[in-house]
A and B are shown apart, each in its own frame.
Chain A
Amino acid sequence: MKPQIRSAALLLALSLGLAPAARAADDVVTVGACQPITGRFAFAGIAINAGLQDYLNLANEKQLVKGKKFNYVYEDSGYDVEKAVACFKQIMAKHSPVIMYGESTGLGKAIAPELNSRYKVLYASASFSSELADPKTHPYSFISGPTYSDMFGILLEYIARNKGAAKPKVAFFYSDTEFGKDPIPYAKKRAAELGIDVVAEIVTKAGAVDVTSEVLQLKKQNPDYVIFQGYILSPIIEVIRATKDFGLKTRFMGTFWSMDKGIIEKLGQDADGYMGVMPYAYFYEDAPGIAAMRAYNQKVRPDVKYQPNSYIQGWFTGMVYVEAVRRVVAAGKPVTGENLAAVLDTIKDWDTGGVTGKVTFVSHKAGVGRIYKANAAKGVFEPASDWIYSK
Chain B
Amino acid sequence: MEKEPKAREGIKGWINPAKYGKFGIERFAWILMRITGLGLLAYFIAHIYETSNILNGKEVWDEMLAMTQTTEGHIFLALVIGMCVFHTGNGIRLMLVQMGYGIGKAQRPDYPYKPQSLNMKGKACIYATIGIAALAMWYGITVMFG
B is a partner of A = no
Chain B contact residues, CB within 8 Å of chain A: none
Chain A contact residues, CB within 8 Å of chain B: none
